[in-house]
Structure 1
């Protein structure tokens, strides 16, 4: 395996990881900011409120985008397995 091929495979894996993680992380980030602003405005400093809101938002985002994300992972895995002869040989 050449270094260029290894870097290409690593880049593809990182792209898929970013595609899978981005919707979930952005959802949690947005909910965290909104809850943080509301807590600052109302002076309620209860950490469990933010945690529960983020957990519910993450579960909802996984429910909504789970099929798409799983499809991306399966497509990448199938393509990677099909490229094994080219990688090894």
Structure 2
């Protein structure tokens, strides 16, 4: 395996990681911004007001996006296995 192939596999791994984590991270960011806006407007500075809704929304989004995440990971794994088989 030459350095170009190693860089290509590494790039694909990073893109797969971003594709898998992006939906949940963006939803977490969105709900965090909404809660921060609510806190700024109402002057409520309760710490549990931030964490509890964000945890609930992130867990729900994990269940919603799990098929997409699994498909992306399986596609990457299949591509990686095909490359390993092609080395022999």
Provide structure 1 residue ranges, at least 5 long, that are not aligned to the other structure.
none
What secondary structure does 2:45 align onto?
coil
The number of aligned residues is 88
Deviates more, 1:21-30 or 1:63-72: 63-72
- Residue aligning to 2:52: 52
The two structures, once aligned, show a CA RMSD in angstroms of 1.1
CA displacement 1:22-79 (0-9 Å, x = unmatched): 0000000000000001011111111111111110110111111111111110111122
TM-score, normalized by length of structure 1?
Answer: 0.92
Provide structure 2 residue ranges, at least 5 long, that are not aligned to the other structure.
none
TM-score, normalized by length of structure 2?
Answer: 0.93
What secondary structure does 2:62 align onto?
helix
**d(CA) in 2 for partners of 1:47 and 1:5?**
47
Runs of 4+ off more than 6 Å: none
